[in-house]
Structure 1
Amino acid sequence: MQLRELQWFTTLAETEHITEASIRLNISQPTLSRALARIERKLGVQLFDRHQNRLRLNRYGKLYQAHALRALNELDRAEQRIATLVDPDRGSVSLGFAHSFGGWLIPDLLMRYRGVASSTSFELHGGACDSVVDSVRQGKIDIGFVAPEPAADDLVWIPLGHEALCLRVPAGHAFEGHDHIAMTDVSDEPMVALKAGHGLRQATDRLCREAGFRPRIALEATELPTLHALVAAGLGVAVVPAAPSGHPSATGTVPLSDPTAFRCYGAVIRRHGPSSQAARRFLKFVAGVSAIPARADRAPSEGTPRRVLRPAVPGAWPVSA
């Protein structure tokens, strides 16, 4: 069976209409009808039920459609991988990242990389840290950017920097305007936090545990903007990443004086690294980048680094330019 006819079938299966499919494919209706007849003759079954001028994909057709789409997708991936081997600059890289990194780390890296390989394309997937790590493990994404370091012996962690954490409070709260606050002072406060599985929730739980109390979680969210909105509505306080003065998310934040009020962030990959040359080249760039500006204005307390991406020298996986 010709690849072209397989592509024609998937379009027909999507439209379930000979005329619409032929227009979309820019071929004649008789040509499409003959191609469908050849496929059905080869398989020995009809793939569509005919209802006057309409077609309805039957159970055989749905089964064949699923396999046809999978085969076409695999061929597309093969073409992309071959193109990447020939010219890494033209390849595609899939990145997963914790939602909070979508506001600064990922844009910073992509902006810088554009000057190195402007033809590289990227697929971006935001999510909870646990889901990002799982996607890396399953090979669904090439590189994941998470915090903190995941407990995963089958993956490689590339430390990139540290991000300062602070306390966000509602307007008019007793802590508002303080130069700093300690986590021990938060023990009686209702808190809002991201759901379990998010890196920021892990950092929140850790800080509370180190301060000797269990947080009173009033509400849970799945994204950082929602978390900020819940605090603004007066529903609790929250541990959040520090932001620069003037940024909307900096309003109502108080620096934390705890020496461990930061989280380590980095990249996570499979043990043998990404499969494509484009992803390996981007990874080599990420590991060597330094001096991404810190977003927190305050000087961190002793032992609490500001948000900085520093060079790392991974040695457990090969990287080729």
Structure 2
Amino acid sequence: MELRELEWFNTLAETENMTTASARLNVSQPTLSRALGRLERKLGVKLFDRRQNRLRLNRYGAVFQAHAMRAMNELAKGEERIATMVDPDQGQVSLGFLNSFGEWLVPDLVNRYRELTPRAVFELRGGASDAVADDVRQGRIDIGFVAPEPAAEDLDWIPLGSQRLCVGVPEGHRFAERESVTLADLEDEPMVSLKVGYGLRHITERLCRQAGFTPRFVIEVTELYTLPPFVAAGWGVAVVPEPQPGQQTLTPVILIDDPSAVRPYGMLTRRGGPAGQAARRFLAFAAAQSKCTGLAQEAVPQAAGVAELPG
């Protein structure tokens, strides 16, 4: 069985769409269809159910996909091990992260790491918490930066720190001149929020439930940076992380006077840590840089022992 057939099958299994898969692989649909037919004849079963020109991975396909992904991962690990033997500081690390972390946390860690290992290469992908966790789970990325810790028993969590939470309000709002607010103060306020699936949305709903009310969301968005314009326009208030030092804010931001109003953030990996040596080195570096160094190193003893990094 050719390596190319496994790659093409995995793409088809992920997309379940011949047109999308052929575009991603840069091969014609007839070529891809013939390759799938050859693979199915070799295995003696159909791997997809065909319904109205659509593909749906069946139970045989799901079994084969699991083995095909492991095979591709093993080959990738083999390539990386050889590359690492030739040059231990060279290798690609794929990172997934909440888009808001792309403004400060991820660039800061990557830039500091590149000062130590300038030949390291990074692949970066932003998204919602649920999407990042799934990418880690499926092996599409090595390390995910999310908040808060997801309920995922099949993934490892390495805490890095936490942000205090605030409430963004429109100019002239009754809270605008206050230094702090309580969660109960928000009960009658219309709210602007990220969509379900984003970490900050989960935290906002939890805090409101703790305060004894169900939040009333009037606008839902997919990017944290789009919350302030809707708040400024008067649609409602929004629970947001405390601004980073030097960060400009579009609307007044008031601290929430509650010790539980924090946004803990950290790293996700597959159980036991990422497979690649380069990713494990970066994981150890990021854990050592956090304010929770002792806890983080306890959570990833294998990663922390990969290499002694200067500084």
| TM-score, normalising length: structure 2 | 0.72
| 1:314 and 2:298 matched | yes
Per the alignment, residue 194 of structure 2 pairs with 194
When structure 1 is superposed on structure 2, of 241-250 and 202-211 the one drifting more is 241-250
Per the alignment, residue 280 of structure 2 pairs with 280
Per the alignment, residue 44 of structure 1 pairs with none
| Matching residue's letter, 2:302 | P
Task: Say which of 30, 35, 53 aligns to 1:59.
Answer: 30
Q: Aligned equivalents of 1:86 and 1:66: distance in 2?
A: 40
Per the alignment, residue 264 of structure 1 pairs with 264
Alignment of 1:235-274 (within 5 A): 235-244=235-244, 246-249=246-249, 251-274=251-274
Residue 272 of structure 2 aligns to a residue whose secondary structure is coil
Q: 1:134 to 1:59 in 2, by over 3 A?
A: same
| 1:203 and 2:187 matched | no
Residue 96 of structure 2 aligns to a residue whose secondary structure is strand
Q: 1:189 to 1:57 in 2, by over 3 A?
A: closer
| Matching residue's letter, 2:157 | W
Q: 1:252 to 1:265 in 2, by over 3 A?
A: same
Asked if the contact 2:176–2:252 (Cα under 8 Å) also holds between the matched residues in 1, the reply is yes
Q: 1:234 to 1:162 in 2, by over 3 A?
A: same
1:179-219 CA distance string (max 9 Å, x none): 11111111000001001111100111111111111001001
User: What percentage of aligned pairs have identical amino acids?
Assistant: 52
The Cα shift of 1:85 comes to 4.2
| Matching residue's letter, 1:101 | F
| Matching residue's letter, 2:226 | T
| Matching residue's letter, 1:266 | G
Q: Aligned equivalents of 1:149 and 1:76: distance in 2?
A: 28
Residue 298 of structure 2 aligns to a residue whose secondary structure is coil
Alignment of 1:129-208 (within 5 A): 129-208=129-208
Asked if the contact 1:169–1:231 (Cα under 8 Å) also holds between the matched residues in 2, the reply is yes
Q: 1:80 to 1:226 in 2, by over 3 A?
A: same
Per the alignment, residue 91 of structure 2 pairs with 91
Q: 1:178 to 1:268 in 2, by over 3 A?
A: same
Residue 248 of structure 1 aligns to a residue whose secondary structure is coil
| Matching residue's letter, 2:276 | S
Q: Aligned equivalents of 1:95 and 1:208: distance in 2?
A: 31
Q: Aligned equivalents of 1:103 and 1:285: distance in 2?
A: 20
Q: 1:192 to 1:152 in 2, by over 3 A?
A: same
When structure 1 is superposed on structure 2, of 78-87 and 253-262 the one drifting more is 78-87
Q: 1:138 to 1:85 in 2, by over 3 A?
A: farther
Q: Aligned equivalents of 1:284 and 1:152: distance in 2?
A: 21
Q: 1:244 to 1:269 in 2, by over 3 A?
A: closer
Q: Aligned equivalents of 1:225 and 1:182: distance in 2?
A: 24
When structure 1 is superposed on structure 2, of 79-88 and 154-163 the one drifting more is 79-88
Q: Aligned equivalents of 2:141 and 2:161: distance in 1?
A: 22
Q: 1:288 to 1:57 in 2, by over 3 A?
A: closer
Asked if the contact 2:231–2:251 (Cα under 8 Å) also holds between the matched residues in 1, the reply is no
Q: 1:66 to 1:223 in 2, by over 3 A?
A: farther
Q: Aligned equivalents of 2:220 and 2:277: distance in 1?
A: 40
Q: Aligned equivalents of 2:76 and 2:153: distance in 1?
A: 32
| Matching residue's letter, 1:255 | L
Q: Aligned equivalents of 1:80 and 1:58: distance in 2?
A: 31
| Matching residue's letter, 1:217 | F
Q: 1:206 to 1:85 in 2, by over 3 A?
A: farther
Asked if the contact 1:157–1:266 (Cα under 8 Å) also holds between the matched residues in 2, the reply is yes
Asked if the contact 2:158–2:299 (Cα under 8 Å) also holds between the matched residues in 1, the reply is no
Q: 1:281 to 1:169 in 2, by over 3 A?
A: same
| Matching residue's letter, 2:93 | V
The Cα shift of 1:57 comes to 5.0
Residue 219 of structure 1 aligns to a residue whose secondary structure is strand
Q: Aligned equivalents of 2:117 and 2:185: distance in 1?
A: 49
Asked if the contact 1:168–1:252 (Cα under 8 Å) also holds between the matched residues in 2, the reply is yes
Residue 230 of structure 2 aligns to a residue whose secondary structure is helix
1:40-81 CA distance string (max 9 Å, x none): xxxxxxxxxxxxxxxx957246645999xx9xx998886455
| Matching residue's letter, 2:131 | S
Residue 243 of structure 2 aligns to a residue whose secondary structure is coil
